Structure 1
Amino acid sequence: MTRNEFDLIRDYFARQPVSRRDVALGIGDDCAITQVPEGCQLAITTDTMVEGTHFLATASASDVAHKALASNLSDLAAMGAMPAWCSLALTLPEPDEAWVAGFCQGFSALAEYFQVQLIGGDTTRGPKSITMTLHGHVPHGKALTRDGAKPGDWLYVTGTLGDSQAGLNYVLGKPVTDEARAATLINRHYRAQPRVAAGQALRGIASAAIDISDGLVADIQHILKASGVGASIDVTQLPLSEALLADVDSYETAQKLALTSGEEYELCFTVPEMYRGTLETTLKHTGVTAACIGQINGSQSLQLMADGNPLDWTLSGWDHFKELDSDRS
């Protein structure tokens, strides 16, 4: 017998591994009731993923769930917030129990790791889409924002860049010549690890921060605009993985991917000179690497450089409506 939406909610979404003490009332009522820790402010983010725009119909439900939750977690990481609670709105063409089971498996694994409790949401019929609202908290006045960068601050990114786009290329049909390398890059596209611990470690150190979801050259513009500053990036300092370098035809191609690849869910942040030493010590405890790729200046524009020479590259950021062609799904 086909299950209806209420069966799915009861059997899957109400059954989860995380039960937080700060949730007074969770799934099952008209609203959830939670308690924000004393001395903290509430941080809230919402993201939507639509089939054919953010993921293909062939993507596993578990991968889709991980990607959806990771996107929200990355937003909280960029604010230096601690994840806490999640609400989920799920739209499906029909009650697909196998898909929902896989989705819950992927969601629960990542939610348990970051101790995120699902506290409510909605299910409805329609084109497949997932909307998550994630709540977190941050000590009062300590949230990382985009508007604090100053001329002279150093520009950093965590992890490596470009892998997500390289993985998506395989998802969209690029011929596989090395199965292990392709699997690594595809995993980086669907299974990015949000830098939550690093974001919390940056509180009091970083002057501005943002997560890289639309590509570095696009996302850094938000910091520059909000802070009223400019920046120079030395493309020779961009952190590139061995898998990416082996996958492309030239070092320049890898650099351009690193500048434009979306859905990386790494952090881009600025650090005053006086905190550079503190940064290196602090990040060691998180297990996350960070590379200094440039510096903030007063020009109010972004300049790409290589070994001290300006580049005339014309690059744009990630565009979901162009990157995923729904006809391929």
Structure 2
Amino acid sequence: MALSEFDLIHRFFQSESLQCGQGVILGIGDDCALLNLRPGEQLAVSMDTMVSGVHFPVDAAAEDIGYRLLAANLSDLAAMGAEPVWFTLALTIPSVNESWLEGFSRGLAQLAGEFHLSLVGGDTTRGPLTLTVQVHGRIPVGQALRRDGAYAGDHIYVSGSLGDSAAGLALALNPPSLLSATDSYLLERFYRPTPRVEMGRLLRPYASAVIDISDGLLGDLQHILQRSHMGAELELQHVPLSEPLLATMPRQDALLKALTGGEDFELCFTVNPADEANMLRELQRLQVPLTRIGTITHRTGLRMALDGEEFSLPAHLGFQHF
């Protein structure tokens, strides 16, 4: 007997592992969720959609898809310095495949449990595989990190390493017959990114502007520059590249992946030099590499140099949705 919509929701999305957050007065099962913020808090909301064959390969494991979908959304909250608390899910599937749904909900639950995040509502319907999550985070009033605060003289930092996810996607689309340890690392970086939620929270007192790297470093940094009405100078030899990435391609190709590949879901942020030492001291306990890659300037536009020589790329940079 085929599962009804309500049976599907109850079986796969009302488990305790997806109902572990705080402030839920009424969750799944009614027309709306009822949620409580604590006094002195604001609500941060973000939503992303992933489509099979566009954002992930059609044969990707369901568990990886669930994990990646939620991680990408949590990265937006990290960039605002928000604490994740709730999320909703709109699930469009071509048919009720119980094995796929079990894997997908397991991937969601793994990350939701890590951040004590509750699934509080959503919708299911039939159609081409399309997945939408809306995340909700809380943040003390006036402490949200934004894109519009960068100022001339601020230093530009990125977390982690860049380009790994784009290389992992290339492997996912054309998998080798035998995976090496390097291949597995890059695939993990694509399917299982780490949202820098705790880093975002710790950056609240220090960062002047923050964005998560979803569409490529250069494209996302441009958003900070445009919103802040500033320019930047980048020293590309400092862009952090992982050893596995460098083991698979020449350094110049790896650098291009890092600059334009996207979906690393690391943070790019700016900080006043006067706050830099305190920031680095505070963030060192996370044991996540932080790399200074440039400086914000009054002169608008993005200028790049590699080992002291001017460097340029084609005009269309980063991931384009259309």
TM-score interval (norm. to shorter): over 0.9
Once residues 16 and 88 of structure 2 are traced to their aligned partners in structure 1, the CA distance between those partners, rounded to angstroms, is 13
Give the match's secondary structure for 1:95: coil
Please state how far the C-alpha of 1:183 moved relative to its aligned partner: 0.9
Alignment match, 1:276 = 276
Once residues 28 and 124 of structure 1 are traced to their aligned partners in structure 2, the CA distance between those partners, rounded to angstroms, is 16
| Counterpart AA for 1:25 | L
Alignment match, 1:182 = 183
Once residues 16 and 57 of structure 1 are traced to their aligned partners in structure 2, the CA distance between those partners, rounded to angstroms, is 29
Once residues 164 and 68 of structure 1 are traced to their aligned partners in structure 2, the CA distance between those partners, rounded to angstroms, is 14
Q: How many residues align?
A: 320
Once residues 92 and 255 of structure 2 are traced to their aligned partners in structure 1, the CA distance between those partners, rounded to angstroms, is 38
Once residues 21 and 226 of structure 2 are traced to their aligned partners in structure 1, the CA distance between those partners, rounded to angstroms, is 38
| Counterpart AA for 1:83 | P
Please state how far the C-alpha of 1:10 moved relative to its aligned partner: 0.9
Q: Deviations over 1:181-215 (max 9, x none)?
A: 11110110010000000000100100000000000
What are the within-5 Å matches in structure 2 for residues 56-135 of structure 1?
Answer: 56-135=57-136
Unaligned stretches of 5+ residues in structure 2: none
Once residues 291 and 257 of structure 2 are traced to their aligned partners in structure 1, the CA distance between those partners, rounded to angstroms, is 16
Alignment match, 1:326 = none
Alignment match, 1:208 = 209
CA contact (8 A) 2:207 2:272 kept: yes
Once residues 186 and 23 of structure 1 are traced to their aligned partners in structure 2, the CA distance between those partners, rounded to angstroms, is 35
Once residues 267 and 160 of structure 1 are traced to their aligned partners in structure 2, the CA distance between those partners, rounded to angstroms, is 10
Say whether 1:2 aligns with 2:2.
yes
Please state how far the C-alpha of 1:138 moved relative to its aligned partner: 0.7
Q: Deviations over 1:153-172 (max 9, x none)?
A: 00000000000011111111
Please state how far the C-alpha of 1:129 moved relative to its aligned partner: 0.7
Please state how far the C-alpha of 1:122 moved relative to its aligned partner: 0.7
Once residues 65 and 278 of structure 1 are traced to their aligned partners in structure 2, the CA distance between those partners, rounded to angstroms, is 37
Q: Deviations over 1:280-302 (max 9, x none)?
A: 11111223221000000012101
| Counterpart AA for 2:167 | A
Please state how far the C-alpha of 1:314 moved relative to its aligned partner: 2.5
What are the within-5 Å matches in structure 2 for residues 4-19 of structure 1?
Answer: 4-17=4-17, 18-19=19-20
Once residues 280 and 78 of structure 2 are traced to their aligned partners in structure 1, the CA distance between those partners, rounded to angstroms, is 18
Once residues 290 and 214 of structure 2 are traced to their aligned partners in structure 1, the CA distance between those partners, rounded to angstroms, is 17
Alignment match, 1:28 = 29
Once residues 35 and 172 of structure 1 are traced to their aligned partners in structure 2, the CA distance between those partners, rounded to angstroms, is 43
Q: Deviations over 1:226-257 (max 9, x none)?
A: 00000011110011101000010x21111111
Please state how far the C-alpha of 1:57 moved relative to its aligned partner: 1.5
Q: Deviations over 1:14-52 (max 9, x none)?
A: 113243341111111110011111111000000001111
| Counterpart AA for 1:197 | E
CA contact (8 A) 2:22 2:85 kept: no
Once residues 78 and 87 of structure 1 are traced to their aligned partners in structure 2, the CA distance between those partners, rounded to angstroms, is 19
| Counterpart AA for 1:272 | N
Give the 3 Å change call, closer, same or farther, for CA 105–67 of structure 1 in structure 2. Answer: same
CA RMSD of aligned residues (A): 1.3
Once residues 21 and 69 of structure 1 are traced to their aligned partners in structure 2, the CA distance between those partners, rounded to angstroms, is 18
Once residues 74 and 188 of structure 1 are traced to their aligned partners in structure 2, the CA distance between those partners, rounded to angstroms, is 14
When structure 1 is superposed on structure 2, of 152-161 and 94-103 the one drifting more is 94-103
Give the 3 Å change call, closer, same or farther, for CA 98–37 of structure 1 in structure 2. Answer: same
Please state how far the C-alpha of 1:175 moved relative to its aligned partner: 3.9
Q: Deviations over 1:82-115 (max 9, x none)?
A: 0000010100111111111101100000000011
Q: Deviations over 1:257-289 (max 9, x none)?
A: 110111110000000010110111111122322
Once residues 15 and 245 of structure 2 are traced to their aligned partners in structure 1, the CA distance between those partners, rounded to angstroms, is 39
Once residues 236 and 221 of structure 2 are traced to their aligned partners in structure 1, the CA distance between those partners, rounded to angstroms, is 14
* TM-score, normalised via structure 1 length: 0.94
| Counterpart AA for 2:206 | I
Give the match's secondary structure for 2:215: coil
Q: Deviations over 1:58-100 (max 9, x none)?
A: 0011111111101110000000000000010100111111111
What are the within-5 Å matches in structure 2 for residues 140-155 of structure 1?
Answer: 140-155=141-156
Once residues 179 and 11 of structure 2 are traced to their aligned partners in structure 1, the CA distance between those partners, rounded to angstroms, is 40
Unaligned stretches of 5+ residues in structure 1: 322-329
Please state how far the C-alpha of 1:178 moved relative to its aligned partner: 5.5
Instruction: Determine what percentage of the aligned residue pairs are the same residue.
Output: 47
Give the 3 Å change call, closer, same or farther, for CA 223–21 of structure 1 in structure 2. Answer: closer
Alignment match, 1:260 = 260
Once residues 262 and 177 of structure 1 are traced to their aligned partners in structure 2, the CA distance between those partners, rounded to angstroms, is 26
Please state how far the C-alpha of 1:177 moved relative to its aligned partner: 6.9
